A and B are shown apart, each in its own frame.
Chain A
Amino acid sequence: MTADAAGTIPAVPRHRPSLVIVSNLEKAYTSRDGQNIQALKDVTLDIAESEFVSIVGPSGCGKTTLLRILSGVLQGSAGDVHVAGERLSGPSREIGVVFQSPVLLPWRTVLQNILVPVEIQKRNESESRARARQLIEMAALSGFEDKYPSELSGGMQQRVGICRALIHDPSFLLMDEPFGALDAMTRESMNEELQRIWSRSGKTILFVTHSIPEAVYLADRVVVMTPRPGRIVDVIDVDLPRPRTLAMHNTPEFGTHVAAIRRHFNAEGALDA
């Protein structure tokens, strides 16, 4: 490696270049009854390429606000965000978003829903169709291309939402409690599925949840946020080996991570589910 020749320390996988840099981000707004609310205070976070980062925190800790700023629909009051070297000033083609509910358009088939970003960004139609087929296969939706959303189960609808977020090949994927509305069984299999999709696609993912085990199971790092004001109180490295299995939920290492995170909420007096 040339880096060795220059006498520098060779980069280890843990120190990949940053894809997303959030620096000193603040968000304050005035509520309807005239109170000043500090939704985000001094949030600083680096996310490496191909890294999976989870954010956990109770309601009102600003995790959704942070995600909305990163997705470009909301502006921060101070500080800034860089994605792939560029300052974020609005919605970006580099970003794909998976929402709390699938938010599919009921008059479009599965395939047409997946192609929404392609249509908006006027990308190559035939290339995108081929890509959509691959994504459909990856998300185990083969045979449902021409079905309408109302004909699918909740878990399948959410998988369509994930395909849509990946169709324009964004480098950064934002996921806002995507499995919150699903039952526990479906949720576990979706977690396995997501891990598989992530490892195959090499995307950088920021995953918001209020389930601590879900955060630990999926992430390389778990960012812990607490409310009033919304801020980052801890970042925990999860060094469990990959690929992770559901059985790992029962290992002492897994339990240690969960306990380390849960402690924060007990300390803050804001215990979450």
Chain B
Amino acid sequence: MNGRSYHSLNAFIGTAALSVVTFVAFVVVWEVIVRAFDVPNIILPAPSAVAAAFWSSLRSGELVWHTLVTLFEILAGFVLGAAIGLVTGFVIALFPLAERILYPYIVAFQTIPKVAIAPIIVIWFGFGPSSKVVITATIAFFPLIASTVTGLRAAPQEQVEMLITYTASRWQVFRMVRLPQALPYIFVGLDVAIVLSVIGAIVGEFVGAKSGLGYLILQKNFNFDLAGTFAVLIVLSAIGVGLHAITSWVQRRVVFWVDLAGKHVTVA
């Protein structure tokens, strides 16, 4: 292990510790305020009440079940949306005619708020998870189209020309330069899409569902169980943070050269 990584590990632990301290301080202040001013639980539950609600919800098994449902909707919707976005992005980037034909409709579709079409999708696909998967996919696909198209056009002309002087075919230029150059952009799109997918699944569940974390939030709110609602929010944000972390982890391994270049002064 060299000096640099030792140093950055130290820095990382330092930042993480600061983050934890801030969090603990925030929770303590929150608890103190709720107790000192005797704020009712149905307006703002104290952290201790949220923790209790979380624990009982976990033990009853409802939290686990609804989390699994929502997680499935998020992941299935993300995969479906990202796949459609990637394929459409490739088609648009490779065939200029397809861009002129498709792009106006894609942009028009993108400008429609997905919340507005969610009720229609629920009518078409039912109250079960499949309608949520479709809603999530409609939200997740656009970032992938945009980033794929931009990425596939990002290859520096000099790299393309270098391959051509060595007698590369169009396909070889695509495989050896355009595709790798597009990967960092595609990962940015994936990261945006995975976070939006969480929103997509919840929006779908709000419109009409029989299970899932969005359904659970509505139910708890209906019963003025605000502590229970907060407990669900904690799970939702944990899901978002976790999925983002996984995406970043994969990204650092696949497009390692971006980080590598950042550490050194390089010739563009």
B176 and A150: CB pair below 8 A? no
Residues of B contacting A99 with CB < 8 Å? 158, 162
A91 and B264: CB pair below 8 A? no
Residues of B contacting A151 with CB < 8 Å? 260, 264
A116 and B176: CB pair below 8 A? yes
Closest to B268 in A: A101
Main secondary structure of the interface of B (DSSP, over half): helix
The CA of A150 and the CA of B259, in the complex, are separated in Å by: 10
Residues of A contacting B177 with CB < 8 Å? 105
A105 and B176: CB pair below 8 A? yes
Closest beta carbon of chain A to B87's beta carbon, Å? 23
Would you give the 0/1 interface string for B10-51, flagging 1 where the beta carbon is closer than 8 Å to chain A? 000000000000000000000000000000000000000000
Closest beta carbon of chain B to A42's beta carbon, Å? 25
A91 and B159: CB pair below 8 A? no
Q: Is A148 an interface residue (CB 8 A)?
A: yes
Residues of A contacting B257 with CB < 8 Å? 106-107, 148, 150
- For chain A, the bracket of interface size reads 20 to 34
Closest to A117 in B: B166
A103 and B158: CB pair below 8 A? yes
Closest to B168 in A: A120
A residues 124-183 near B (Cβ < 8 Å) are 148-151, 154, 157, 168, 181
Residues of B contacting A116 with CB < 8 Å? 162-163, 166, 176
Q: Is A73 an interface residue (CB 8 A)?
A: yes
A168 and B267: CB pair below 8 A? no
A73 and B180: CB pair below 8 A? no
The CA of A117 and the CA of B260, in the complex, are separated in Å by: 24
Closest beta carbon of chain B to A17's beta carbon, Å? 25
Closest beta carbon of chain A to B177's beta carbon, Å? 7
Closest beta carbon of chain B to A73's beta carbon, Å? 6
Q: Is A195 an interface residue (CB 8 A)?
A: no
Which listed residue, B158, B161, B172, B260, touches A106 by the CB 8 Å rule?
Answer: B260
Q: Is B261 an interface residue (CB 8 A)?
A: yes
Which listed residue, B166, B255, B256, B267, touches A120 by the CB 8 Å rule?
Answer: B166
Residues of A contacting B159 with CB < 8 Å? 103, 105
Q: CB within 8 Å of B: which residues of A?
A: 71-73, 90-93, 95, 97, 99, 101-103, 105-107, 116-117, 119-121, 148-151, 154, 157, 168, 181
The 3 A-B residue pairs with the shortest CB-CB distance in the complex, in nearest-first order: A117-B166, A106-B257, A107-B257
A-B contact pairs, 9 of them (CB 8 A): A73-B161, A91-B165, A99-B162, A101-B158, A103-B162, A116-B176, A119-B172, A119-B176, A150-B263
